[in-house]
Amino acid sequence: MSDDFAIVTEGLTRRFGQLTAVNRVALRIPRGRIYGFLGPNGSGKSTTIRMLCGLLTPSEGEAVVLGLKVPGEAEALKRKIGYMTQRFSLYEDLTVLENLQFIAEIFCLPRARRRGRIEELMEGFHLTELRRQWAGTLSGGQKQRLALAAAILHEPQLLFLDEPTSAVDPQSRRDFWERLFELADNGTTLLVSTHYMDEAERCHGLAILDRGVVVADGTPATLEAGINAWVVEVESERARVARNAIAPLPGVFSVTQLGARLRVLLEREIDEPQGYIQAALDQAHTPATSRLTSAGLEDVFVAATQGRYRGGSA
C-alpha cells in the first residue's frame, strides 16, 4: 500500500443478517485531502466510516488506514484519528472548558501540552468567552465548533465527519468548511459524509454511494464530465405544465423543477436532445425555451444512482 494514501480498501463489505449494507467498496483516498461520501440515507456512508474507524468488523474485504489494518490494529489507529458525529456527542452538563479537558484526558494529552492546546483551540474556534457556559445551552453553530475542537484536540492525522453540518445555518456551514480547508492545508486528511450537493462540490474527491455500492468516484469535475446523459434546461412560466409534457417522453429519466426552470436528463442515445424536448413542448402548446447545458453534481447524483454514469462502476 502506498504511503501517499491515507485510506485504501479492497472489497470492503458489511452484512447485517440478510442485508448487505456495504458491498465490495474499493477506495484510494490521498493524504491531506478532503474526500466526500455523497449518498441518500441508507446508502452505507456511516457504516463504511465505522468500519474504517475500527468500530465495525467487515464481513469481507480489507482496509488499511494510515498504514494500519483495521479492525486488527484499531487500538493503535484510535490515537491517530478524530471522529465527529452528526449529533452533538459531548457532555451537555459540562462546560465548554470541562468538555475539552475531559477529551484531553481520554487521549492522554501530555499535561505540559494540554493547557496550551485547549487555549489555542478555544481562541481559534471563538470559544474563549463561552468557556464557562454549559455545553447544552450553546447554539447549533457553537456546539459544532466545540465538537470540531474536541475532535482535533489530539491533532489527528485523519478526521472522520459524519454529516457534521445537518443542524446548523448556512453561515455556520460556510465557516465550518473554511476550518476544514485549513486542516487539509496543514496535512490532515478528512473524510466527510454528506447529502448536501454544495458541500460535495467543495471536496477534492468524492464517492457517490447507493445501496452500499460506490456508483461513481472522482473529483467533482471528472464526475460531471463522466455523466452518461444529456442535460437540457427548460424555462417556462408554466413549469408544471411543461414538466407534464416532458416527463412521459421515451428516454427522459429525470425532470427536476427549480422555480420556473426544469432540469431534464435524457439518455445519450437520443439524437438532438434539445430539439426533441422543444418539439414536445411545442406540441403541447406550452410556451417555453430550452437549451442543452452541462451537468451539475446533482445531475450526476441522479444519473449515477440510476446506473447511468459511464465513468465509474455503475
Average pLDDT, the chain: 93
> Residue 186: what are its φ and ψ, rounded to 5°?
-90, 10
Q: What is the pLDDT of residues 203-240, one digit of tens each?
A: 999 999 999 999 999 999 999 998 999 999 999 999 99
Is pLDDT above 70 for 32? yes
Which residue shows C-alpha cell 442515445? 269
Question: Residue 214's beta-bridge partner residues?
Answer: 209
Q: How confident is the model at residue 312 (pLDDT cuts 50, 70, 90)?
A: very low
Region(s) of the chain under CATH 3.40.50.300 = 5-223
Q: Is the dihedral of CA 91, 126, 163, 203 positive or negative?
A: negative
SS3 state of residue 81? strand
Can you read off the three cell numbers belonging to residue 83?
Answer: 471522529
Give the whole-angstrom CA distance, residue 142 versus residue 221: 33
Q: How confident is the model at residue 85 (pLDDT cuts 50, 70, 90)?
A: confident
Give the whole-angstrom CA distance, residue 147 versus residue 84: 7
Looking at the whole model, is its pTM more than 0.75? yes
SS3 state of residue 52? helix
Q: How confident is the model at residue 89 (pLDDT cuts 50, 70, 90)?
A: confident
Percent of the chain with pLDDT over 90: 83
* CB burial of residue 166 (10 Å; 0-12, 13-18, 19+): middle
Give the whole-angstrom CA distance, residue 25 versus residue 172: 32
Can you read off the three cell numbers belonging to residue 32?
Answer: 491531506
Reference 82, options 65, 67, 98; nearest CA is 65
Region(s) of the chain under CATH 3.30.70.100 = 228-294
Q: What is the pLDDT of residues 255-282, one digit of tens each?
A: 999 999 999 999 999 999 999 999 999 9
| The pLDDT of residue 314 | 36
> Are the CB atoms for 194 and 165 separated by under 8 Å?
yes
Q: How confident is the model at residue 311 (pLDDT cuts 50, 70, 90)?
A: low
Q: What is the pLDDT of residues 132-186, one digit of tens each?
A: 999 999 998 899 999 999 999 999 999 999 888 876 788 888 889 999 999 999 9
What single string gives the DSSP state of each residue in 131-193?
Answer: TTSBGGGS-HHHHHHHHHHHHTTT--SEEEEESTTTTS-HHHHHHHHHHHHHHHHTT-EEEEE
Assign a CATH topology to domain 228-294: Alpha-Beta Plaits (3.30.70)
Is pLDDT above 50 for 46? yes
| The pLDDT of residue 131 | 96
Q: What is the pLDDT of residues 137-148, one digit of tens each?
A: 999 889 999 999
Give the whole-angstrom CA distance, residue 56 versus residue 67: 18
Amino acid identity of residue 117, one-letter, is R
Reference 125, options 147, 140, 108; nearest CA is 147
What single string gives the DSSP state of each residue in 239-306?
Answer: HHHHHHHHTTSTTEEEEEEETTEEEEEEETTSSSHHHHHHHHHHHTT---EEEEE---HHHHHHHHTT
Give the whole-angstrom CA distance, residue 91 versus residue 39: 30
Q: From the centroid of its chain, how far is CA 272?
A: 35
Give the whole-angstrom CA distance, residue 128 versus residue 11: 45
What's domain 5-223's architecture? 3-Layer(aba) Sandwich (3.40)
